[in-house]
Chain A
C-alpha cells in the first residue's frame, strides 16, 4: 500500500478496511464476557455497554480482531465485560497504548474507553496528540462531569462552583469543553451523544467506526451516585426539546418545541440561537460536518454551557478526511522493505557496513 486507503468510497466502512470480516452472523452474546458487571445500579455505563454489545456484531468483523483499551475510572472497566481482546491499562494512558496497537496492526479495530478525568486531566496530553496524528482509533469519552471511582471529586468538566468532597466551598476551576478541545486538537471526527438515547448512540458509533482516523465520541453519561441529574435538561421530557440541539448533516439546525428555535451565524463570527419565527428560513445554518474549515463546528461547540447544562448540540460536529498516522507509517515500512526476502542476509550487510578490515 503506497497511499492511505482514505476515501475509498466503495468500501462501506473505510475505517475498518484491512480488518478481516466474519463469515456468518454474530450476536451480542458472543460479545459478552463471563465477568460480572460491577457498576452501581442505575449507572449510565450499563446503557452504553449494552448498546456496544449489540452494535459490535453489526460490524461483521472477526471478534478476535477487535481490541478495547481503557485507562482508569469507572468506565474503564468496560473491556472486562466484552469478549474481545482488551487491556485495562493505567490512568490516562489508553490513547498512547492504543496508538502502538493501531500502528503495529492494520488488521485490528481498536477502541479506547475513557472518562472525563482519565482523558482530559491525567491523560490530556495523549488525547490531543492522538487526535492531531489521526491514528485510526475510536475514542469513547464517557463524560459524567465527576470523579466516580475515587468517590466524588470535581473533574475537568465539572461546572464552575461545583461543591464536592475536594471543593467544599465550590470549585474555582474552569472546565474543558471536550468537543471544543478535540476541534482545537485537529481531530478529524468529533461527535457527542447521550447514554440514554440508544438509537443515536448506535448511529454515532457506526459513523465513528466508518471513519478512518481518530474518532472522538463524547458520551454524556449520568453518574447517579456522585453527580445525579447532571444531564437532566436533556433527559427530562419537559425540557429536552429546548436542550438538545440536533446536528444532522445537510439540514438546517433547529430545535425546541416544533422547531421554534434555530441557529444562525452571529455578527461576531460565531453562531447564535434565534426564534425561527423571527428569521427567514434560508438564514438558518445548514449543518455541514464535512466542511474542511473547523470554524463553524467550533462555534457550534460553544453553544454547550460551561456551567450547569441547559442546552447542548448533539451529533457529529466534524467528519473530514486526512491521511492517518498509522497508514502512513506502515506505508513507509512497506516501501522500504520491498524485496527484502532474507532478513538475515540484510542484517549481515548492515553490520558489515562502514569501514571494515579483516584479520586472517
Chain B
C-alpha cells in the first residue's frame, strides 16, 4: 500500500507510561535515531522520584519528550504534537498539555475498570467522547506485541514488556527514523538473554511493519536533517557532558582527579560516569556522607589533586562549612550542584534554579565563591573545564550550578577539538618565596634567611602558592583560623582580619579580568536602532529564553538577549550593558534570585519572570510576557505579538 509522505519542519513527541514501562529507554532510543538521522533535537525526560511508584497510578507516570527539527531549536517544546499513552494514568496525567487537533496514540490494553479507577477515571475516556477534539488512534499495542513475540515462548508478562519496543517501532516508521542503531543497541543490551533480546527486536520490527501495513495510519512524516556547522556530533545529556568536562579539566591541568561524593538525585550520574574512567587516574570516593565527600576532596586538593565534589541543593547545605574552609585555606576545589526543587527534600527529580543565593551566600562570614552555570546539556562540558581553570588558577573553591533539566535532558553536541581546551597550569610551588632579615647583631651584620610564606600572593591573580606535601623545605600549616597576611600563621589582629577579608574578596573579583566580553544577541541592532528591552538569564533557561525571543522577533518585536555563564563575579561589561536598555527582564525558575543580585549590584529596576513548578519555562508564555514588557516600555500598546502559541519558530 503506497502511503503519502508529508513534510514537517519540526515535531514534538511525548512517550508516557508507567514508570515500569520503559518510557525513558524508548524516548532515548527515538532520540538516538533522530540524532543519527541528523535532526536538531532537545529532550526532556520527566519521571517520578519513586523508583517504582504504584503501578497504574498518576504518581507513577514517567514521560520522555523529544523535540526534533530540520532547523536549529532551543527547547524540548512547550506542548507535544503527538502523545503516546501506554495506560489510562499516562493519558490522564499528560492530556492537559495537549492542544486540540494534536495526535494521541493510546495502548487500549489497560483501559479496564481496575486501571481506569486507579487513574481516577469514572468513565472510559476512549468511549465517552471526551477526547473528541484530538486525533486519537486506539490500538492494542500490548496485545499485538504478545502476539508478535509468541514464537519465543516467553511468559505473558515478559512478552508484554516488549510493548515499548513495539511503540518505538511504530513511531520510528511514522517519522522515517533509521532503525539500525536501535537494533544494534538491543543486541548489545540483552546479549546475555537471547530470548528477551530476540523478542525486543521482533517487537520493534513488528511495530514498524504494523505502521507500514495498517490502514490506521495513511501518512508518513518526514523531518529533514537540520543544517549544522561542520564537525562530528553526538547526542549528549548534561550529566555525561559534565563528567567528560571534568575528565578534560584533569587532562588539561595534568592533575589527578579526586571526586569525593555521596549519592543524591539528580547528581549521582556524575559519580557513576567518573567511576568508569579510572584509567585517567581518577579516584572516586563514595563517602559516608556529604560532609565527608567534600572533606576528602579538599584533603586531596591539599595534597595536589583536582578535588571535586558533586551533589544537589541539600548536599550543598551540608558541605557549607567545608566550603568555607576551602575559602580560608585557598585551595582549588570544584563543587557541583545539580539543582533540584527545594527547599529540604523538595522535588528530587524536578528542575529548579533556587540554589543561586545558597551558592553565593550560604556560608558563615565573608566567604566569596566564584559561581558558573552551564546553559545547555552540551555546554556542561565547557562549564566544567572553565570551573577547573578558575579553581586551579585562583586557588579557590568554585561552584558549578547545573540543574535537573540540564542533567537529564540531551541535545546534539559538536564534539570539541581538544586543541580548543585552555591551558590550565597548576604551578605548584617548589621553592622558598620570601626572605627574612634578622635585626643587626652587635657588629651591625644583618643575616638573611630564605623561607616559604604560604600566603604570599601572585600580583596579577592574587592567588597564593600551592605547595603540596612531599615538597622539601615548604612544610607549612594551614587551617580555618584567620591567617596573617603573607606568612599565614594564625593571626587575631583586627587590621589583618579586615585586610584578609577584603583580599579574599578582591581575589574572586579579579577573576572578572579573565572573562571575555558578554555576547548581546539583538538582530534589530544590526541595521536599526536596536531593542529597548533586554532579557537577561542564566543557566538552563537559555533555551526557553532564546526561543521566546525568536517568537517575539518573528512577530516584529525587538528584544535583546544576554545569558550569563559567570554569576560571581559578574563580567565587567554587564553594568554598562544593563544601562543601555529601558527595561530588563530576568526569567528564572525561582522567586527572583538573580534579580536580587542584579538590583543590589547595579541598582537596575529589573522585572522578574518567575516560575517554580519544577518544570522548564514555556517559551510561548514567556514570549507573551516579553511582548507585554515591550508594549509598556515603548508605549506601543498595539505592538505585534507572537500569535501562534504552540510552535517554536525558525530563527
A residues in contact (CB < 8 Å) with B: 33, 35, 62-67, 69, 72, 79-80, 83-90, 93, 96-101, 103-105, 107-108, 125-126, 129, 329-330, 332-333, 336-337, 340, 343-344, 346-348, 350-360
Can you offer 30 A-B residue contacts whose CB atoms are under 8 A?
Answer: A63-B475, A66-B469, A69-B299, A72-B480, A80-B490, A87-B302, A87-B479, A88-B477, A89-B325, A90-B324, A90-B480, A96-B299, A100-B299, A103-B283, A104-B303, A104-B304, A107-B470, A108-B303, A125-B288, A126-B292, A333-B281, A343-B280, A344-B418, A350-B247, A351-B244, A351-B248, A351-B381, A354-B236, A356-B234, A357-B232
A129 to B283, CA, bound (A): 18
User: Which residues does chain A contribute within 8 Å of B601, judged by CB atoms?
Assistant: none
Interchain CB contact under 8 A, B283 and A35: no
Interchain CB contact under 8 A, A99 and B292: yes
Most B CB within 10 A of own CB, among A66, A67, A355: A355
Interface string of B271-315 (1 = CB under 8 A from A): 000000111111101011101100111111111110100000000
Given contacts A99-B296, A100-B258, A108-B303, contact A357 B230 (CB under 8 A): no
Shortest C-beta distance, A147 to chain B (Å), equals 18
A189 to B363, CA, bound (A): 37
User: Which residues does chain B contribute within 8 Å of A86, judged by CB atoms?
Assistant: 476-479
User: Which residues does chain B contribute within 8 Å of A85, judged by CB atoms?
Assistant: 469, 475-477
Q: Which residue of A lies closest to B292 (CB)?
A: A96
* B260 within 8 A of partner (CB): yes
Question: Looking at the complex, which one of B232, B296, B298, B475 makes contact with A64 (CB distance below 8 Å)?
Answer: B475
Given contacts A64-B473, A84-B475, A343-B280, contact A357 B38 (CB under 8 A): yes
* B181 within 8 A of partner (CB): yes
Interchain CB contact under 8 A, B295 and A355: no
Given contacts A88-B481, A93-B295, A355-B35, contact A101 B280 (CB under 8 A): no
Shortest C-beta distance, A47 to chain B (Å), equals 21
User: Which residues does chain B contribute within 8 Å of A63, judged by CB atoms?
Assistant: 472, 475
Secondary structure class of chain B's binding surface, majority of residues: mixed
Interchain CB contact under 8 A, B288 and A333: no
User: Which residues does chain B contribute within 8 Å of A67, judged by CB atoms?
Assistant: 303, 469
Interchain CB contact under 8 A, A105 and B36: no
Given contacts A69-B299, A103-B300, A125-B288, contact A108 B470 (CB under 8 A): yes
* B347 within 8 A of partner (CB): no
Question: Looking at the complex, which one of B230, B232, B282, B489 makes contact with A333 (CB distance below 8 Å)?
Answer: B282
User: Which residues does chain A contribute within 8 Å of B475, judged by CB atoms?
Assistant: 63-64, 83-85
User: Which residues does chain B contribute within 8 Å of A90, judged by CB atoms?
Assistant: 321-322, 324-325, 480
A337 to B250, CA, bound (A): 14
A86 to B280, CA, bound (A): 28
* B228 within 8 A of partner (CB): yes
Interface string of B326-348 (1 = CB under 8 A from A): 00010000000000000000000
A15 to B384, CA, bound (A): 37
Shortest C-beta distance, A319 to chain B (Å), equals 24
Question: Looking at the complex, which one of A69, A79, A350, A357 makes contact with B233 (CB distance below 8 Å)?
Answer: A357
Question: Looking at the complex, which one of B247, B288, B303 makes contact with A129 (CB distance below 8 Å)?
Answer: B288
A72 to B325, CA, bound (A): 12
User: Which residues does chain A contribute within 8 Å of B126, judged by CB atoms?
Assistant: none
Q: Which residue of A lies closest to B489 (CB)?
A: A35
Q: Which residue of B lies closest to A109 (CB)?
A: B469
User: Which residues does chain B contribute within 8 Å of A66, judged by CB atoms?
Assistant: 469
Given contacts A96-B295, A98-B299, contact A358 B277 (CB under 8 A): no
User: Which residues does chain A contribute within 8 Å of B228, judged by CB atoms?
Assistant: 359
Given contacts A88-B477, A107-B470, contact A347 B248 (CB under 8 A): yes
Interchain CB contact under 8 A, A64 and B234: no
Q: Which residue of A lies closest to B231 (CB)?
A: A359
A333 to B298, CA, bound (A): 20
User: Which residues does chain A contribute within 8 Å of B472, judged by CB atoms?
Assistant: 62-64
Q: Which residue of A lies closest to B185 (CB)?
A: A355
A188 to B415, CA, bound (A): 48
A84 to B32, CA, bound (A): 55
A251 to B308, CA, bound (A): 49
Given contacts A85-B475, A347-B248, A355-B36, contact A126 B279 (CB under 8 A): no
* B183 within 8 A of partner (CB): no
Q: How many A-B contacts if CB must be within 8 Å?
A: 202
User: Which residues does chain A contribute within 8 Å of B256, judged by CB atoms?
Assistant: 104
Question: Looking at the complex, which one of A100, A125, A343 makes contact with B307 (CB distance below 8 Å)?
Answer: A100
User: Which residues does chain A contribute within 8 Å of B325, judged by CB atoms?
Assistant: 89-90
Given contacts A89-B480, A333-B282, contact A100 B260 (CB under 8 A): yes
A96 to B322, CA, bound (A): 11
* B229 within 8 A of partner (CB): yes
Shortest C-beta distance, B629 to chain A (Å), equals 38
CB-CB nearest 7 A-B residue pairs: A100-B299, A88-B479, A96-B295, A100-B296, A97-B299, A336-B278, A96-B292
A242 to B464, CA, bound (A): 55
Question: Looking at the complex, which one of B233, B280, B305 makes contact with A340 (CB distance below 8 Å)?
Answer: B280
A337 to B321, CA, bound (A): 35
Interchain CB contact under 8 A, A64 and B471: yes
Question: Looking at the complex, which one of B283, B292, B303, B381 makes contact with A93 (CB distance below 8 Å)?
Answer: B292
User: Which residues does chain B contribute within 8 Å of A89, judged by CB atoms?
Assistant: 295, 325, 479-480
Interchain CB contact under 8 A, B289 and A125: yes
User: Which residues does chain A contribute within 8 Å of B283, judged by CB atoms?
Assistant: 103-104, 329-330, 333
Question: Looking at the complex, which one of B229, B235, B302, B490 makes contact with A101 (CB distance below 8 Å)?
Answer: B302
* B120 within 8 A of partner (CB): no
Interchain CB contact under 8 A, A108 and B300: no
A105 to B468, CA, bound (A): 11
A83 to B472, CA, bound (A): 11
Interchain CB contact under 8 A, B279 and A336: yes
A99 to B303, CA, bound (A): 11
Interchain CB contact under 8 A, A65 and B470: yes
Interchain CB contact under 8 A, A346 and B470: no
User: Which residues does chain A contribute within 8 Å of B322, judged by CB atoms?
Assistant: 90, 93
Interchain CB contact under 8 A, B244 and A96: no
Using A64-B470, A126-B288 as known contacts, list a sample of 11 further A-B pairs with CB atoms less than 8 Å apart, ordered by residue number in A: A62-B470, A90-B480, A93-B291, A93-B292, A100-B302, A100-B305, A333-B282, A347-B247, A354-B235, A356-B415, A359-B232
User: Which residues does chain A contribute within 8 Å of B302, judged by CB atoms?
Assistant: 87, 97, 100-101
Q: Which residue of A lies closest to B469 (CB)?
A: A85
* B251 within 8 A of partner (CB): yes
B378-424 contacts to A, CB under 8 A, are 381, 415-416, 418
A336 to B478, CA, bound (A): 34
* B474 within 8 A of partner (CB): yes
Most B CB within 10 A of own CB, among A79, A108, A126: A126
Interchain CB contact under 8 A, A88 and B480: yes
User: Which residues does chain A contribute within 8 Å of B230, judged by CB atoms?
Assistant: 359-360
A346 to B282, CA, bound (A): 13
User: Which residues does chain B contribute within 8 Å of A33, judged by CB atoms?
Assistant: 477
A48 to B301, CA, bound (A): 29
Shortest C-beta distance, B560 to chain A (Å), equals 30
Interchain CB contact under 8 A, A100 and B469: no
Shortest C-beta distance, B292 to chain A (Å), equals 4
Most A CB within 10 A of own CB, among B234, B302, B381, B490: B302
Shortest C-beta distance, B414 to chain A (Å), equals 9
Question: Looking at the complex, which one of B235, B305, B477, B478 makes contact with A104 (CB distance below 8 Å)?
Answer: B305
User: Which residues does chain B contribute within 8 Å of A353, judged by CB atoms?
Assistant: 234
Interchain CB contact under 8 A, B181 and A332: no
Interchain CB contact under 8 A, A100 and B279: no
Shortest C-beta distance, A149 to chain B (Å), equals 12
Interface string of B448-467 (1 = CB under 8 A from A): 00000000000000000000
Q: Which residue of A lies closest to B181 (CB)?
A: A355
Interchain CB contact under 8 A, A97 and B35: no
Q: Which residue of A lies closest to B296 (CB)?
A: A100
Shortest C-beta distance, B636 to chain A (Å), equals 42
A277 to B490, CA, bound (A): 58
User: Which residues does chain A contribute within 8 Å of B287, judged by CB atoms?
Assistant: 96, 99, 129
User: Which residues does chain A contribute within 8 Å of B478, judged by CB atoms?
Assistant: 86-88
A83 to B451, CA, bound (A): 13
Shortest C-beta distance, A340 to chain B (Å), equals 5
